[in-house]
Structure 1
Amino acid sequence: MSEQQLKELDEEKTTYRIEGFSCANCAGKFENNVKKLSNVHDAKVNFGASKISVYGEASIEELEKAGAFENLEVIPEKPTRTPVAEDEPKEDKIPFYKKHSTLLYSALFMALGFLSMAVNGNENIVTAALFITSMIVGGTSLMKTGLQNLVCFEFDMRTLMTIAVLGGVLIGEWAEVSVVVILFALSESLERFSMDRARASITSLMDIAPNEALIRRSGQEMTVHVDDIAIGDIMLVKPGQKIAMDGVIVDGSSSINQAAITGESVPVEKHEEDEVFAGTLNEEGFLEIKITKLVEDTTIAKIIHLVEEAQGERAPAQAFVDKFARYYTPAIMAVAALVVVVPPLFFGAEWGTWVYQGLAVLVVGCPCALVISTPISIVSAIGNAAKKGVLVKGGIYLEEIGALDAIAFDKTGTLTKGIPVMTDFEMINEQMDENKMMSIITALEYRSQHPLASAIMNRASDENISYSDVPVEDFSSIMGLGISGKIDGTQYYVGNSRLFSKLPEIHLTDAIENTITSLQQQGKTVMLAGTANSIKAIIAVADEVRETSQESLRKLHEAGIKETVMLTGDNQSTANAIGEQVGMTDVRSELLPQNKLEVIKQLKSRHKRVAMVGDGVNDAPALAASTVGIAMGSAGTDAALETADVALMGDDLNKLPFTIKLSRKTLNIIKANIVFAIGIKIIALLLVIPGWLTLWIAILSDMGATVLVALNSMRLMRVKEDE
């Protein structure tokens, strides 16, 4: 398909939320039904997020008809907003007894049937009528779908159950068939409940940001819905209120709790010109915020969208289960047929007994627990990670993270804060006043574009040393070496030792070289300042290491990461000092972006899976080449959110060990679920040999496995960072 065709299809896409999904197989059937609609070109169901994207034209009535086999309710993702009068009663949630009325009525008729059995006996017509009524009430939807599947030769769990129910009716097992129908309906309800609970993590994210905000527009203050807020509006936020939209503070300062976005538990101080995000909490001051993004483009909206998309991406384990289930269901039907036919034909056994056993095989063979074992785990884990400030872009990356052998880290902004600080200032020529020398150096750096210049200017400002009004003549930048300029008739130079070694009248003494070496070994960048005749001062600047870096590296090594490598453009001495401070197993220095890419390739040749942690933009080649690209501090950074496989929303590297732990726990739970789901089926099927398998045991084993698998998967919603 051409790029133009893809673009046209994307323009025709409409997304709807779906209520009523009970299983992944049903979601697949709904998707196929929608694809068959006359004006629909394609459709894609996201079972994890309970959504469908429709490419083409289809009315809600048509979509609900396509999902009528499971009574699906279709809701536009962006429903039309209508004003609600203040005195108009709010819509209440559907009461439990109404929502599950079919199941409750079916259970009531079944209970009356057992009561009639106790009074009138098993062969009584009233007893039979009560059990049949129970089956009809509770199993109409099941039978309708199952019969349609049989006609179309589509074999899923409902097909198996329909054959089992019909067979049970034919041999007169009214009571047991009634129980089977009710327990199957109950099992589906529990599956639906489990998936809804897993999806609740995303639903809660949707409710984080307020729907209305107080804004000032054209001199007037008004409360408006977020959909009606425009870029450039001024939003007014009082202490204790949540921020409704992304923007930049134009007046005021406050402490902002950003836990909803970054997972940080400690509030962050925000001042004028600082960016703030929708869904965060203004704890102290009164703020005036200029809106910079529409409601659909806010950071929280992007997070919700990315997480929902991630939940729809199938993990390798889920792909295996889906493929296995396609062959598993027909195989179970074949086994059931053999159980029915072989004993009577070849061993003279009773037909009635083995027909019953064959029906029990069909029931026990329902792949409910197996099919739900993976998606509920993935949805739970990705939702939990999002609430902790970690965006995992799909199930495949969730699995890959747990199997990482090596991790490469960009230094600046990842292991360090990315904000240089002037740490040392040592005068060599005592004849000049220290403040005057500092003023000269800062006046030169003020005209420089070098990243380290800000550190020197900040130090001068802190010490109230003036520099911006110092006149500088003949200023020039010497590429890769430093800067120079004439002040009060004297030519001054500021730069690295290579710059001064090129000046014919300068000689670097042993004392100066020893000082330079000592500072570099501490992880600092060293600059010299002086004239063409002499060195006047030594300056050291350092990019401060994050407080969490060392602890994070220790946790990663404890988690079994074999190799951690720091990648930086710094000189070897500075790089080694920082690498040793944080606990790296290897340090690669003086690297250009293409060199970082080569290092990643080398690591991949030694290890199966390698991650790269960077800022998501500058290290794009290395991030793309790694098995998992992890962007650091991605809140508000659209490029990082879009390009990285995993995004750590805050600047906390401790989220990385937590993510690895969550990934491994997810993998273990998925494997345990699959083994348990298949194991319980095998044990139940073995009961066929002595003829002990009953419909009761079959449905209870299937429902029990489903419940236990769902509960086991939902444990991932409660995994904590400090466990």
Structure 2
Amino acid sequence: MNEFKVKGLTCANCTRELQEEINRLPSGETASLSYNTGKLRLENTVDMKKVKEILSSDGAFIESDGEEGHQHEHHSVVNWIALLSISAIFYVAGFITEQWGNEFIAIGLFLAATVLSGYHTFLKGLKNLVRLKFNIETLMTIALIGALSIGEWKEGALVAILFGLNEYLEGLGMQKARKSMEKLLEIAPKEATLLENGQERIVKITTLEVNQIVLVRAGEKIPSDGIVIEGTSSINESAITGESMPVEKAIDDSVFGGSINNEGVLKVKIMKAYEDSSLAKILHLVEEAQETKTPTELFINKFAKYYTPLIMILSAIVMILPPLLFNGHWGEWFYQGLAVLIVGCPCALVLSSPIAIVSGITKNARNGILIKGGVFLEQLGKITTIAFDKTGTLTKGEPYVEDMQVYDPTFLQIAASIEKTSSHPIAKAVLRKAEGVNLEEPEEISTVSGSGIIAKIKGVTYYLGNEAHIKHLKLKDRVKDDIKFFKESGMTIVILANDTDILGIMGIADQVREESASVISNLHRAGINKTIMLTGDHEKTAEKVAKAVGLTSYFASLLPDGKVKKVKELSKNEKVAMIGDGINDAPALATADLGIAMGKGTDSAIETADIVLMQDHLGKLPSAIRSAKRVNTIIKCNIVLALGLKLIALLLTIPGLLTLWIAILSDMGATILVTLISLMVLYERKEK
């Protein structure tokens, strides 16, 4: 399937109609034209000449390579502004001339203003009228013909000028949202410095292959995901994670493509071709996200198809019934009917959702929150319950020594000396606890499966492990009480003993993330009613974590299918989001109304969930939920405004007060308000 950048799309409703025309071409059934992104996708077999003809009928065109398309669009905008400005000057001149009594000159000036600002709309509307295609241009053309036919030169000119201005402002609003998104997509580096046989060579990042070495100087972007093989530096990963604080990187540390090297020089071994990198996947998903339509958008688009013919019928009724049934003046009610046509323009209504959706997705992407489509953004704003996995989500997923009972002063030194050869997570926790302690070298060491380690240091045999590992000893009451306390506190115990005595006990736990408690509190303030933990850990551990972070409830000892069952139960009465690591929790993520993964850019997280928190922590989730709720509120507000202003204008027909300029101002006002309110999402103050 081919993809083209289309310029000159002026309104969402017109774009939808252009797509429908392309869909009717041979092999064009699957073609899609997005107003949000300005992109056209179609099969290779579609006749491009006919596609270009369809686009040109609405003033749109396919952008060619290089700057030509940009220049074309720039000149089109300049010409449009110039024509509207000249039309406005003619209109003012006509108004002044009319006051001086030169009626024929005034009419000429009004006609000139009408032709300059309205010919484009008039020609398109005339073509549509011949084809019995009723859209906004058709309505405006009929209104202009009608106004001029009854001698309303001044109002006809004003309608043409204001409608031209309205179309320009409407396109400007969407262009602003698109540019904001394009700026986000520009973070991808274009070139890289490749090192081959000690020689440097500038290449395009798309040509980079796995295992090649690139040189990244201070201030340059890392071209693709890789591993540092030489140098140290601080790296700005905000393009991926949304986090502004730099991250220190040294040899063997992984780095993301698109992140910026702040200082020093790094040599990076490429581990993924650019198209497979985290950044490329993120940018691709962000682009795709703009093109998915929410249920609200789909409803509005469907409604708009029937709305325009309905307005034409209503206009005909206003023109005919009052003169026929109530002895109204034919000229006056014909004028009122023309005004109804203009009020009926569906632009503001169709525009009520897409700008807000694109702005919301862009804002969150900048913040390191990847939302895969408008439908998921809308859903996020409706969530009332969040279910959390424990390990790696509410906790760090790294064991640490939470408590320790020492019976012999050599306890920590001996335990760490035994663990220093192990790569087990618990061994790492013990070594972190013993940082700075002088360690001994074991003479002998062996592992006993399921219980622990036996080691000999300075001729003494030691046993390090769980309770089963020290069954050769009779435990004192004090030791029994300490073991019981650690277990009841939800800790895993590690005991060190020799042949005769116990030297000490460690209580190992998964450390709760520092931000978890404040995040849960913020989620409750953001309107989340229930925060629930679903974990495979035992009851005591689950209870301890739930209490520490302030969850409303928890369910322990759950296998993956148990989590799925629980999510299904919760979903019966609530809108549920499930948050996990995107791998073990994949079934539960898929079952929930919304799946949210903690990713740090991992492939599995990006591919599994509907939303990915690229920071790999929950810190920015409350702001994402507030942003989604704000977008949903704005869309509802826009729909009410778009329909409300039109309804008020239509009600003015009852006493016969509706004029052409009031009609166009009501439509123009609705469009401007809808656009400005939608763009507020982008400029919403960034939360700390």
TM-score range (shorter-chain normalised) is over 0.9
Q: Does residue 496 of the first structure (1) align with residue 466 of the second (2)?
A: yes
Of residues 411, 414, 421, the one that matches 1:436 is 414
How far residue 278 of structure 1 moved from its aligned partner, in angstroms, is: 2.8
Q: Which amino acid aligns with 2:250?
A: H
Partner of 2:20: 32
Q: Pick from 456, 466, 477: which aligns with 2:430?
A: 456
Structure 2, unpaired ranges of 5+: none
Shift of 1:114: 3.2
8 Å contact from structure 1 (residues 378, 666) kept in 2: yes
User: What secondary structure does 1:371 align onto?
Assistant: helix
Does residue 621 in structure 1 map to residue 587 in structure 2?
yes
User: Residues 180, 720 of structure 1: CA spacing in aligned structure 2 closer, same or farther, 3 A cutoff?
Assistant: same
1:655–1:721 Cα contact (<8 Å) kept: no
Q: What residue is the counterpart of 1:266 in the other structure? A: 245
Distance 1:91 1:73, change over 3 A: closer
Cross-structure match for 1:465: 439
SS of residue in 2 equivalent to 1:70? coil
TM alignment of 1:331-410, pairs within 5 A: 331-410=310-389
Q: Please give the alpha-carbon distance, in whole angstroms, between the structure 2 residues aligned to 1:331 and 1:435.
A: 85
Q: Which residues of 2 match residues 173-252 of structure 1 at below 5 A?
A: 173-252=152-231
Q: Is residue 2:411 matched to residue 1:411?
A: no
The residue type equivalent to 1:380 in the other structure is S
SS in 2 for 1:154: coil
Give the distance between the partners of 1:598 and 1:509, measured in 2 at CA.
44
Equivalent residue for 1:637, pick from 594, 602, 609: 602
The alpha carbon displacement at 1:612 in A equals 0.7
Change (3 A) 1:687 1:434: closer
Cα pair 2:445 2:453 within 8 Å, conserved: no
**Cα-to-partner distance string for 1:191-237 (whole Å, 9 max, x where unaligned):** 11101111222111122233223221232112233233333332222
The amino acid that maps onto 1:371 is V
Cα distance change of structure 1 residues 574 and 368 upon mapping to structure 2, 3 Å threshold: same
Partner of 1:315: 294
Q: Compute the displacement of 1:244 (Å).
A: 3.4
* Structure 1 residue 471: Cα displacement: 3.6
Distance 2:378 2:631 in 1: 8
> 8 Å contact 2:405–2:505 — kept in the other structure?
yes
Q: Which moved more, 1:455-464 or 1:282-291?
A: 455-464
Work out whether residues 64 and 71 of structure 1, in 8 Å CA contact, stay in contact via their aligned partners in 2.
no
Are residues 1:253 and 2:229 paired?
Answer: no
- On the 8 A contact 2:192/2:204 being kept in 1, the answer is yes
Contact 2:184/2:362 (CA < 8 Å) preserved in 1?
Answer: no
Matched, 1:609 2:575: yes
How far is the alpha carbon of 1:15 from its aligned partner?
1.3
TM-score computed with the length of structure 1 as normaliser: 0.88
Task: Say if 1:60 and 1:289 are closer, same or farther in 2 by CA, change over 3 A.
Answer: farther
What's the CA shift for 1:388?
0.9
Q: 1:71 and 2:45 equivalent?
A: no
Q: Does 1:673 align with 2:606?
A: no
1:593 to partner: Cα distance: 1.6
Secondary structure of 1:100 counterpart: helix
CA 541–59 in structure 1, closer or farther in 2 if over 3 Å, else same:
farther
What's the CA shift for 1:601? 1.9
Query: In 1, Cα distance between the equivalents of 2:180 and 2:578?
Result: 28
Deviation at 1:629, TM superposition (A): 0.6
Task: Tell me the residue number matched to 1:10.
Answer: none
Describe the shift of the 1:677–1:139 C-alpha distance in structure 2 as closer, same or farther (beyond 3 A). Answer: same
Relative to the length of structure 2, the TM-score reads 0.92
Contact 1:441–1:529 under 8 Å retained in 2:
no
Moved more, 486-495 or 609-618: 486-495
| Partner residue in 2 for 1:513 | 480
Worse overlay, 639-648 or 295-304: 295-304
Identical columns (%): 42
Cα distance in 1 for partners of 2:632, 2:499 equals 65
Q: Which moved more, 1:336-345 or 1:29-38?
A: 29-38
Q: State the match for 2:668 in structure 1.
A: 703
| Offset from partner CA, 1:269-288 (integer Å, 9 cap, x none) | 22222222233222233211
Aligned mate of 2:612, from 638, 644, 647: 647
Counterpart of 1:103? Answer: 84
- Structure 1 residue 95, shift from structure 2 partner: 9.0
Letter in 2 for 1:630: I
1:526 aligns with 493
In the alignment, is the contact (CA less than 8 A) between 2:411 and 2:503 conserved in 1? no
Q: Could you tell me how far 1:466 is from its partner in structure 2?
A: 5.2
Cα 1:440–1:302 shift into 2, 3 Å: closer
- The 8 Å contact of residues 600 and 616 in structure 2, kept in 1 or not, is answered as no
Partner of 1:18: 6
Asked whether the 8 Å contact 1:97–1:104 carries over to 2, the reply is no
Aligned mates of 2:686, 2:437 — CA distance in 1: 41
Count of residue pairs the alignment pairs up: 685
Q: Residues 426, 695 of structure 1: CA spacing in aligned structure 2 closer, same or farther, 3 A cutoff?
A: same
Shift, 1:674, TM fit: 0.9
CA distance in 2, matches of 1:247, 1:80: 31
The one-character-per-residue Cα deviations of 1:561-614 (angstroms, maximum 9, x if unpaired) are 221112222222222222211111112222222222222122223x32011111
**Does residue 42 of the first structure (1) align with residue 12 of the second (2)?**
no
1:209–1:243 contact (8 Å) kept in structure 2:
no
Offset of residue 526 of structure 1: 1.8
What is the CA deviation profile of residues 283-312 of structure 1, one whole-angstrom value per residue up to 9, with x for unaligned ones?
233211122233333323322221221121
Change (3 A) 1:547 1:111: same
Q: Deviations over 1:231-264 (max 9, x none)?
A: 3332222223333333221111221122222111
Deviates more, 1:556-565 or 1:361-370: 556-565
User: CA shift at 1:105, angstroms?
Assistant: 4.0
Q: CA RMSD in A?
A: 2.8
- Please give the secondary structure, in 1, of the residue aligned with 2:41: strand
C-alpha distance in 1, partners of 2:380/2:499? 55
What secondary structure, in the 3-state scheme, does the structure 2 residue paired with 1:542 have? strand
Separation (CA, whole Å) in 2 of partners of 1:179 and 1:254: 62
**C-alpha contact 1:336 1:358 (8 A) present in aligned 2:** yes
In 1, distance between residues paired with 2:466 and 2:481?
14
**How far 1:137 moved relative to its partner?**
2.9
- Report the alpha carbon displacement of residue 382 of structure 1 after superposing the two structures with TM: 1.0
Kept in 2, the 8 Å contact 1:235–1:291? The answer is yes
Alpha carbons 1:60, 1:74 under 8 Å: kept: no
Partner of 1:477: 449
Q: Does 1:691 align with 2:665?
A: no
What letter corresponds to residue 71 of structure 1 in structure 2? G
Question: Can you list the C-alpha shifts for 1:439-480, whole angstroms capped at 9, x where unaligned?
Answer: 23555x45xxx543332355567535256x75434x3422xx
The answer to which of 548-557 and 108-117 deviates more is 108-117
Q: Distance in 2 between matches of 1:324 and 1:330?
A: 11
